[in-house]
Chains A and B, each alone.
Chain A
C-alpha cells in the first residue's frame, strides 16, 4: 500500500484536482458561488477511503497528526469504531490511529471510493 503511494511522490494540494472533486462539489454545495465545502473524516463510513486535503487545526495539533501519518495527499481508510461510533479508527500510512469525532471533523478529505471491505 505504501509502495503504491510512493510511486507518485506525495502530490501537492493542487495536483489533486480531478473528477471526483468536481462531483463532490456538485453534491455538497447547494449555493453556487459559495466556497466549496469538502467532506470531513466524520462523513466516512467503515470501509470508505479518502484523500486528505487540509487539517483545520492549530499548528501544533496539526503537526502531531502529520507525524502520525495524516499528511495532505495521503489516503485514509475509515475502520471500526468504539461502540456508538466515536472515536473511530483510521488506517493511514500503514498504521491504525483512533480519532475522536471532534478531531476527525477538522480533517477535510476528498472521497476516493466507497465501501471497500475492511
Chain B
C-alpha cells in the first residue's frame, strides 16, 4: 500500500487494500477461448478460496474466487465462460460479454482482465485479443501452456508481442505453476505497461485472422510441432476397432469399479456412523430428543452420507476423463449414436455428467447453441442414472440380487443388474429423444463442431478441487434438504401422541399417509412403508433410503434387524424390481424440477416432464412386478 504512489505511474491496475475490498464483487475477469486452460489458471490463482454460483436470472455457472497477492491483498476473481469472439451467439458468450462491458450490474465492470490464450495455437487465439483490448480495461495477455510450447519446439518473442499489442504479456504454465508470479505482479500493479496501441476491430473473420497472423509474425511466433503423443494416442483411442473397445471398456470399467472399490469405503463410513451413534446414545439420557437425534437425524442422514465414497469416485472418473482430454474423444465416438436419436455429440457431455447429477448437466446444456437440441437434452437428462439413484439401487440390489458370478470373476450378477438399470435409463432417454426430435422439437441441420484438445496428465490439484467441491455440494444437500425431510418425517412418525407416548408407526401420521397411498402402489408390489419413502423421495431420490432406514429402525417388529433383511422380509422379488424400475424412470428431485423451470423459463416443460416420467415409471414398475411376480 505504502509504495503505491511511487509505482502509480507505471502501474496497470490499482486495487484498494484488503479493508476496502468488497467480498464477492468480482474485480478481475478471467477470459479466453475454450480449451485455453482458463479454469486451471483460475484454480492456480484462487486455490480453495472459490465459490460456485449462478448468474442471477440465468444458470450459467459463475465461478468466483479470491486471489491473495504476496503482499496480502485479496482480489476477487471471476472465471467467465469460454468464447471465441466478442460477438455473442450462445447464452454463455452473452454472459461473458455482458460482464466485460459492465452490463451486468451485479458484478460491476471488471477493473482488470486476464486474457488467457493457448500459446501452442497463438496465431488463431490472438484473434480474441483485439476486441478484448479495445474495451479499454487494463489487460494482461497470458500465453498459457508454456511447457507444451517449449517441449514441442515453439517460440515467441514476448517483448515484441507486448509492443505490438500495447499490453503486457506473460508466458505461463498454469498446470506447472510457471510464471504465476508475473500474474500476481500484474495484479499488484507492478508490471510495466507498454505504450498503448490502436488496434483495429475487425468484424470480418478472415481479416481478423490475417491481422492476428501478422501480429504473430512480428512477435516472431514459431508454432510448435504437432503434438506427437496426442497423435500416437489417437492412433489407439480413435482406432476403428481398438478405439471402440477402449470406449466400452472405459464405460463398463468405471461402473464396475464404482461398485466394487467403493464398497469397503462405504462400509468404513457406515461403521464410523454406527460407532458415533452408539456413543451418542450412551451419553444422552433416553428422551424424545435422543430419539429425534438418533432415529431421525443420525440414522436418516447417516444412511445417505455413506454413499459419499461412491459419488466421489464417480466424479473422480469424470474428472480424469475430462482433464486428460479423453472425454472429447468419447464425444466423437458417441456422436453417431447421438445423431441417430436426433441429438449431437455436444449433448453427450451434459448427458454423461447427468450420470453424476442432472442439475449441473442441465446447466451444462447452455453450451449447445441449437435451442431445440438443448431443450431435448434437458428433457432427457434426468433419465440418466444420477448418483442420487445409486443409494437406492445399491440397497435394493444388495438385498435382493445374490452375489453370483456371471462372466467369470470379472462381472458379478449385482454389477450386471446395475448395468442393466443404467441401460434402462439410457434406453428411456433415447426413445424419448427420438420422440421429441421427430415431433415437437424437430429441427433442421445442427452443425457439430468439436475441438480435440491435446492429451494431458490430469493434475492432483485440479481433481482434488473438483472432488472437494462435489463433497461440499453432496453433504450440504444431506445437511439441508434431507435433514429437513427427516425431521418432518420423524415428527409425523411420532404424532399423534397416544397417552403422552408416540404411537406405533402404523398409527402415526406418516403411517396414515402411507396407508392412504397404498392402494395406488399395491399394483406395483409395494407396501405402505415404501409408499412413505416414495413421498419423501419427491424431495430427493436418496431420501427414500434414509426414510426406510428410519421407518424400519423405529418399527418395533423390525427393530435391530438390518435394513436389507427388513426389506427382504417386506418386499417380494417382483416388488423390489418394480421399485428399481420406478426409480430408473421417475423424476423424483425438487432441484432438477427447479433448474428445468429456470432453464426453460416457465412451468410448462417441467410439468410435462414430471408427468411423462411419472407415468412411465408407474407403467414400467407395473409391468416389472407382473412379469416377475
Contacts and interface: CB of A to CB of B under 8 A. Distances in A.
B336 A68 contact: no
B216 A68 contact: no
Interface string B83-105: 01100010000000000000000
B238 interface: yes
Contact of B123 (A6, A83, A98): A6
Interface string B324-351: 0000000011011001000001000000
A9 B449 contact: no
Given A95-B121, A95-B124, A64 B447 contact: yes
A93 B210 CA distance: 12
B466 interface: no
B335 A68 contact: no
Interface in B439-466: 445, 447-452
A83 B243 contact: yes
Interface in A76-98: 79-84, 86-87, 89, 91, 93-98
Contacts, number: 122
A38 interface: no
Contact of A80 (B85, B234, B345, B450): B234
Contacts of A100: 335, 339, 447-448
Contacts of B241: 83
B434 interface: no
B106 to A, nearest CB: 29
A14 interface: no
Given A82-B238, A87-B448, A10 B333 contact: no
Given A89-B238, A97-B451, A98-B449, A2 B216 contact: yes
Contacts of A89: 234, 238, 332, 452
Contacts of A99: 448-449
Given A6-B217, A68-B84, A86-B336, A94 B124 contact: yes
A102 B339 CA distance: 11
- Which of the listed residues A1, A57, A82, A103 has the most CB atoms from chain B within 10 Å of its own CB? A82
Given A1-B223, A83-B243, A89-B238, A68 B213 contact: no
A94 B121 contact: yes
A68 B217 contact: no
B206 A66 contact: yes
B235 interface: yes
A94 B345 contact: no
A82 B335 contact: yes
Interface residues of B, number: 41
A114 interface: no
- Which of the listed residues A67, A68, A102, A118 has the most CB atoms from chain B within 10 Å of its own CB? A67
Contacts of B449: 64-65, 68, 97-99, 103
A64 B85 CA distance: 9
A57 B89 CA distance: 17
A61 to B, nearest CB: 5
Contact of A83 (B210, B226, B240, B339): B240
Determine the main DSSP class of B at the interface with A: helix
Interface string B183-223: 00000000000000000000001100110011011000111
A19 interface: no
B206 A61 contact: no
A98 B452 contact: yes
B448 A98 contact: yes
Contacts of A9: 210, 213-214
B456 to A, nearest CB: 14
Nearest to B90: A64
Contacts of B120: 94
B222 A83 contact: no
A1 B223 CA distance: 7
Given A82-B333, A83-B333, A68 B121 contact: no
Contacts of B85: 67
Given A60-B89, A83-B333, A96 B451 contact: yes
Contacts of A5: 213
Nearest to A102: B445
Given A60-B89, A67-B127, A95-B451, A87 B345 contact: yes
A83 B231 CA distance: 16
A63 interface: yes
B428 interface: no
A104 to B, nearest CB: 10
Contact of B213 (A6, A63, A103): A6
B244 interface: yes
Nearest to B245: A83
Given A2-B221, A9-B213, A72-B206, 19 more contacts: A1-B223, A1-B226, A6-B213, A10-B209, A65-B449, A66-B206, A67-B85, A73-B206, A82-B238, A82-B332, A82-B333, A83-B333, A84-B336, A87-B335, A87-B450, A93-B123, A95-B121, A97-B450, A98-B450
27 contacts: A2-B223, A3-B221, A6-B216, A9-B213, A10-B210, A57-B447, A60-B89, A66-B209, A68-B449, A71-B206, A82-B238, A82-B335, A83-B241, A83-B243, A83-B336, A86-B335, A87-B336, A89-B238, A89-B452, A93-B121, A93-B123, A93-B124, A95-B451, A98-B345, A99-B448, A99-B449, A102-B445
- Leading 7 A-B pairs by shortest Cβ distance: A66-B205, A96-B452, A2-B223, A80-B238, A98-B450, A94-B121, A67-B84
